[in-house]
Amino acid sequence: MKLKELIENRYSVRAYLPQAVEKEKIDYILECARLAPSACNNQPWKFYIVRSETVISKIRESYGREWFKTAPMYIVVCKDVSISWKRSASDNKDFGDVDTAITAEHICLAAAEIGLGTCWVCNFNPDLLAQALDLSAKLEPIAIFPLGYIDTDKSIAAEKKRKPLSETGEWI
């Protein structure tokens, strides 16, 4: 499948089968994420692969939607603020959010490529999530990705509404 076709077909899944995801598939997704580019190659991300029922129940408290509870597992992407690159020449902008967003999208695309569903979740309670994962102060949770096989009876790909290229790009 070509990249554009994969991007067109990928959608935010909100219904999962209870079936466990094979370790080989998780490893493939993580390997794709690990290869993401980052500012100055600092790679300021840490992935938490959550399959423990105890931790899953705590993660579900950080984002209380019913559909979220159908996922058999989660990948949480965190930013390590101690190693993220900061633009020191002017405004000291921290590029860790950008870097983790790139690696997070690699997770979404890799999962879609191998027939798994994800949904980018960032509207969670960061304090509850940090507590659930026992994060150190240097780690900031950026996104949660429920991961699993898609329940095709309940999950429907919504029509993608995107601005036309004429509104998003400008030739100079």
Domain assignment present for 31: yes
| pLDDT at site 108 | 98
Q: Mapping DSSP to helix (H, G, I), strand (E, B) and coil, where does residue 142 land?
A: strand
Domain assignment present for 160: no
| pLDDT at site 149 | 98
Mean pLDDT of 21-50: 98
Task: Express as a percent the part of the chain with pLDDT over 70.
Answer: 100
Domain assignment present for 164: no
Measured N-to-C along each axis, helices 126-133 and 53-62 cross at an angle, to the nearest 10 degrees, of 170
Which residue carries 């994969």 as its tokens?
6
Chain segment 51-105, per-residue pLDDT in tens: 999 999 999 999 999 999 999 999 999 999 999 999 998 999 999 999 999 999 9
Is the CB of residue 95 less than 8 Å from the CB of residue 86?
yes
Domain assignment present for 85: yes
Domain assignment present for 132: yes
State which residues form the domain around 76: 3-150
Domain assignment present for 53: yes
| pLDDT at site 85 | 97
Q: How many domains does the chain have?
A: 1
**What is the C-alpha to C-alpha distance for residues 85 and 99, in angstroms, rounded to an integer?**
9
Q: Which residue has the higher pLDDT, 104 or 157?
A: 104
| pLDDT at site 23 | 97
pLDDT band at 158 (very low <50, low <70, confident <90, very high): confident
Is the CB of residue 100 less than 8 Å from the CB of residue 76?
no
Res 14 pLDDT > 90? yes
Domain assignment present for 65: yes
**What is the C-alpha to C-alpha distance for residues 88 and 93, in angstroms, rounded to an integer?**
8
Mean pLDDT of 29-55: 97
> What CATH code is carried by the domain that includes residue 114?
3.40.109.10
Res 165 pLDDT > 90? no
Domain assignment present for 159: no
Backbone Cα Rg of the chain: 17
> What phi, psi does 170 have (nearest 5°)?
-140, 125
